[in-house]
């Protein structure tokens, strides 16, 4: 197994080993670290995710957004384009289905999606990160493909990408590939990077 795959496996198992009570404490700490941020307070449309595989839980943050009248979006696997994400509004009333990874996602209804570049802010999960903003995901290249437009053209900056993680997912330095899209910031239960 190559180094990248081995690291992914190791950190995935580490985050899965967190107890429900540790997960709950981390989710509350994440809420505290996110809610006062300028970028979060300014954003009107924010993409988040439902936790899976031991990922840090942004649900308290989703509820805060609903309370503040912000629009919450969840990623949905693109039905045709390989390994790409669509973003669909998520409210308490949204009908949900399970995707091919058994992750709950909003049922796709025509005309309800938002383009990735039109979001104000994207909070995304990750497997590992380093303090420079490099990200390793689950290995599908979904976020990398979806946000590949960032940095390609001038004026196509797109939304800031904030990686959410447990502090235990930090490594000193990640091996980066040419297609990896760097994160603007990483926010954990302990602090923000850089
Ligand atoms: N913009 C792109 N165009 C085409 N292929 C891509 C692109 N970005 C990534 N890939 C492919 O996706 C595969 C997985 O990439 P990588 O290992 O970086 O996934 P990841 O960042 O861990 O996953 P994810 O983004 O879903 O969290 C790689 O084999 C890579 O070739
Ligand atoms: Mg990648």
The single residue listed with the structure tokens 């496996």 is: 9
143 CA closest ligand 1 atom index: 25
Lowest mean pLDDT among 6-20, 31-45, 99-113: 99-113
| CATH entry 3.40.50.10420 includes domain 3-74+115-193 | yes
Which residues are CB-neighbours of 69 under 8 A, at least 6 positions away? none
Write the pLDDT tens digit of every residue in 11-20: 999 999 999 9
- Is 141 touching ligand 1 by the criterion CB < 6 Å? yes
Q: Find the 40 Cα to ligand 1 centroid distance in Å.
A: 27
> Is 156 flagged in the annotation as binding?
no
Tokens encoding 78: 């693109």
Go through 164-173 and write b for each residue having 16 or more CB atoms within 10 A of its CB, e for each that does not: bbbebbbbee
Separation of CA 139 and ligand 1 centre (Å): 6
Q: How far is the CA of 66 from the centre of ligand 2 (A)?
A: 30
Q: Where are the domains of the chain?
A: 3-74+115-193
Ligand nearest to the CA of 7: 1
Residue of 83, 141, 181 with the most ligand 1 atoms within 8 Å of its CB, for mutation: 141
What does the pLDDT look like over 72-94, one tens digit per residue? Answer: 999 999 878 778 899 999 999 99
């Amino acid at each position: 197994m190559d180094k990248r795959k081995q690291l992914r496996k190791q950190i995935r198992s580490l985050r899965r080993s967190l107890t429900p009570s540790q997960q709950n404490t981390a989710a509350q700490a994440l809420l505290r670290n996110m809610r006062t941020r300028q970028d979060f307070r300014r954003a009107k449309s924010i993409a988040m995710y439902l936790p899976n595989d031991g990922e840090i839980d942004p649900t308290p943050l989703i509820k805060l957004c609903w309370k503040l009248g912000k629009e919450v979006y969840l990623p949905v696997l693109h039905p045709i384009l390989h390994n790409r994400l669509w973003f669909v509004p998520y409210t308490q009333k949204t009908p949900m289905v399970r995707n091919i990874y058994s992750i709950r996602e909003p049922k796709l209804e025509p005309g309800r999606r938002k383009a990735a570049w039109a979001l104000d802010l994207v909070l995304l999960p990750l497997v590992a990160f380093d303090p420079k903003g490099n990200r390793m995901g689950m290995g599908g290249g979904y976020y990398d493909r979806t946000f590949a437009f960032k940095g390609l053209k001038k004026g196509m900056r797109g939304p800031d990408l904030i990686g959410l993680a447990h502090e235990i997912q930090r490594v000193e330095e990640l091996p980066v590939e040419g297609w990896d899209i760097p994160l603007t910031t990483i926010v954990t239960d302990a602090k923000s990077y850089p």
